[in-house]
Amino acid sequence: MSFIPETIKHQITIRLSEALGLICLGPMGNPDPTDMINLETHRIPFKQSSMNLDQWSGTFRS
């Protein structure tokens, strides 16, 4: 990977200059993204609440 300038080093997503359309997760320097993924997952409202399965009874009927 090419040198990443300091101005974009701490952004969440960083575009790779040598591969168009590809991005890598940041912040750079932490090769294990588990903490960031866990923090983002806990922001999803349904993840933190208990689900009422009765509300889903007719959702996937054709």
The answer to whether residue 58 sits within a structural domain is: no
Q: What is the pLDDT of residues 5-29, one digit of tens each?
A: 677 666 667 677 676 777 776 665 6
d(C-alpha 4, C-alpha 13), whole Å: 12
pLDDT band at 2 (very low <50, low <70, confident <90, very high): low
The answer to whether residue 26 sits within a structural domain is: yes
4: domain range? 1-31
Cite the DSSP H helix spans in the chain.
34-41, 45-48
The answer to whether residue 20 sits within a structural domain is: yes
d(C-alpha 57, C-alpha 48), whole Å: 21
The pair of three-digit structure tokens given for residue 44, joined into one six-digit string: 């999803």
Spatial CB neighbours of 33, under 8 Å, sequence gap ≥ 6? 25
